[in-house]
Amino acid sequence: MGAFETYTATQWNEILQLTDEFEFWTASQTFAVNETLDRVENENHNETQMVKRQLSKPDIDDDSEEEERVEKRPRQPASPILFSDDDSDFDTSQVSK
């Protein structure tokens, strides 16, 4: 099952409400979408881990080491994202020169 198939209708609505123009996302909109997708992916991962722990027999070991190894990986866009000419909500002062 692909990552996108695990999103609920509520999660998709949250993602889709970020912008109405999918072809013309600004840099800040793209960042917001990526942050939302990362958060949802982490929530889904946490729920999956809880189900796995409930199904397996109880451990006597400390699970904190396993949780420390979980790292957040950067999300790569699945397809090219086009930007509009209007990046008025993008703060260019934050761009390093």
Over residues 28-38, the pLDDT tens digits come to: 878 888 898 89
Domain assignment of residue 68, yes or no: no
Q: Which residues form the domain of 44?
A: 24-54
Beta-carbon contacts of 40 under 8 Å, excluding residues fewer than 6 positions away, are: 7, 11, 14, 15
Is residue 3 pLDDT above 70, yes or no?
Answer: no
pLDDT of amino acid 72: 62
Domain count, the chain: 1
Domain assignment of residue 33, yes or no: yes
What would the two tokens of residue 26 be?
């600004």
Question: pTM higher than 0.75, yes or no?
Answer: no
Give per-residue pLDDT as tens, 16-27: 776 555 666 778
